[in-house]
């Protein structure tokens, strides 16, 4: 039987591993996470479809690979409450508040109202010291603060996604992923407007 032909973008899961590895050694690489924020939105706005989720998302690919091919997933059905709109939109709001807080902390450092905190926070609950990953003075303090904040959001969401993958189907994270919820909303609005 002929094997499925792979596309170049089927290997974006490597990017996810690389991103966290780079940020472990130098937190400034966390800025690259903005690509993961902006690209899905741009594809949805201009394409009006979920092409990013279906083809380009390294995180989704990684969950498929670990949970599917490597068998790390129990494969249980995704709980229905995770699929419900109230949970998906509620989680999106929670995610946006976290991102808003990163922007606020960045601004406070920029304005000199507080000093740079060299730690990675997971949803305000866990604060991981991360001071080896940045040498003071490399960039303005606010730019470093944004890196720590963004890396925290990326790491927190990855851990949640891995947990969902292990407990349920490999891509259970995708049903309540904030980026997925936002892109779906954009596509719906765009398609409605075109009709
Ligand atoms: S829902 Fe989120 S994690 Fe899943 S493919 Fe889309 S952007 Fe990636």
**Domain residues of the chain, as ranges?**
8-194
Q: With a 6 A CB cut-off, is 60 part of the ligand 1 pocket?
A: yes
Instruction: Kindly tell me if the per-residue pLDDT of 2 is higher than 80.
Output: no
**Helix extents (H) in 48-84:** 51, 58-63, 80-83
Q: What is the pLDDT of residues 133-164, one digit of tens each?
A: 999 999 999 999 999 999 999 999 999 999 99
pLDDT band at 67 (very low <50, low <70, confident <90, very high): very high
User: Would you say the CB of residue 174 lies under 6 angstroms from ligand 1?
Assistant: yes
Tally of helices (H runs) and strands (E runs) in the chain: 9, 2
Atom of ligand 1 nearest to the CA of 63: 3
Cα→Cα distances 84→78, 130, 131, Å:
11, 36, 39
User: Ligand 1: distance of its center to the CA of 114 in Å?
Assistant: 34
* pTM summary value: 0.94
């Amino acid at each position: 039987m002929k094997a499925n032909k792979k596309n170049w973008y089927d290997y974006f899961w490597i990017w996810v591993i690389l991103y966290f590895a780079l940020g472990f050694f130098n937190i400034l690489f966390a800025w690259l996470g903005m690509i993961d924020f902006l690209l899905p939105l741009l594809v949805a706005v201009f394409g009006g479809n979920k092409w990013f989720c279906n083809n380009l998302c390294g995180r989704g690919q990684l969950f498929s690979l670990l949970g599917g091919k490597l068998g790390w997933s129990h494969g249980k059905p995704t709980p229905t409450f995770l699929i419900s709109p109230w949970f998906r939109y509620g989680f999106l709001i929670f995610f946006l508040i976290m991102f808003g807080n990163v922007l606020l902390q960045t601004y406070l450092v920029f304005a000199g109202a507080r000093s740079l905190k060299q730690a990675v926070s997971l949803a305000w609950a866990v604060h991981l010291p991360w001071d080896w990953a940045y040498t003071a003075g490399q960039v303005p303090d606010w730019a470093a603060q944004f890196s720590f904040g963004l890396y925290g959001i990326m790491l927190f969401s990855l851990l949640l996604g891995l947990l969902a993958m292990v407990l349920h189907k490999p891509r259970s994270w995708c049903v309540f992923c904030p980026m997925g919820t936002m892109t779906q909303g954009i596509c719906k609005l765009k398609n409605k407007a075109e009709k």
